[in-house]
């Protein structure tokens, strides 16, 4: 691989890591919102956001998707979803912090944690298909490969 593509790969890795950190913060914040806002309030919020759209177009895909999701969200699922978002976000923030500071020990841990989340996401895709989970899993797979490239690069340069 030539020097330019290695530099590009490194810049892509850095960009993805920072984006993953931002996404982790947003995830944790969303989890807190989900836990603090009751399921009935969540349903009213979704109805407020998408209600007009559904009145204009009763077949609107996103509006109907989120309306059905909010109406069918049980309290147990609501709590699980909130806690999952918080834990997932905090884990990503911690890993991103270690990766940014080039801690070699963080790379294998990040790979393992990311793989475990991916396994869970694949399990969820198999039993309750979600295009969002498919997209997130594909992004995580790309991140996992970038993680490997960056780890190898740092190991070579630290010798």
Residue 1's pLDDT band, with cuts at 50, 70 and 90, is: low
Q: What are the helix (H) ranges across the chain? A: 3-36, 39-56, 61-71, 75-100, 106-127, 131-157
Residue 7's pLDDT band, with cuts at 50, 70 and 90, is: confident
Q: What is the mean pLDDT of the chain?
A: 82
* Residues whose CB is less than 8 angstroms from the CB of residue 155 and which lie 6 or more positions away in sequence, other chains included: 104
Residue 113 and residue 147 in contact, taking contact as beta carbons nearer than 8 Å: no
Residue ranges of the domains in the chain? 3-157
pTM of the model: 0.63
Taking only the tens place, the pLDDT of each residue in 104-146 is 888 898 899 889 988 988 988 888 777 777 887 888 888 888 8
CB atoms within 10 A of CB 42: 19
Provide the pLDDT for residue 159: 66
Instruction: Give me the percent of the chain exceeding a pLDDT of 70.
Output: 92
Residue 86's pLDDT band, with cuts at 50, 70 and 90, is: very high
Tokens for 61?
């895909």
Residue 47 and residue 57 in contact, taking contact as beta carbons nearer than 8 Å: no
Residue 140 and residue 114 in contact, taking contact as beta carbons nearer than 8 Å: yes
């Amino acid at each position: 691989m030539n020097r330019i593509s290695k530099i590009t790969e490194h810049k892509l890795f850095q960009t993805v890591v920072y984006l993953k950190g931002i996404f982790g913060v947003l995830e944790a914040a969303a989890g807190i919102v989900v836990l603090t806002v009751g399921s009935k309030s969540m349903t009213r919020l979704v109805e407020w956001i998408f209600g007009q759209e559904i009145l204009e177009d009763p077949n609107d895909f996103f509006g109907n998707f989120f309306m059905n999701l909010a109406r069918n969200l049980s309290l147990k699922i609501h709590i699980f979803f909130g806690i999952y978002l918080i834990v997932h976000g905090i884990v990503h923030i911690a890993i991103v912090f270690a990766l940014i500071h080039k801690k070699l020990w963080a790379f294998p841990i990040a790979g393992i944690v990311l793989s475990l989340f991916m396994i869970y996401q694949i399990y969820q895709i198999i039993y309750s298909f979600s295009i969002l989970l498919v997209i997130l899993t594909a992004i995580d797979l790309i991140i996992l490969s970038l993680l490997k490239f960056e780890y190898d690069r740092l190991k070579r340069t630290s010798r």
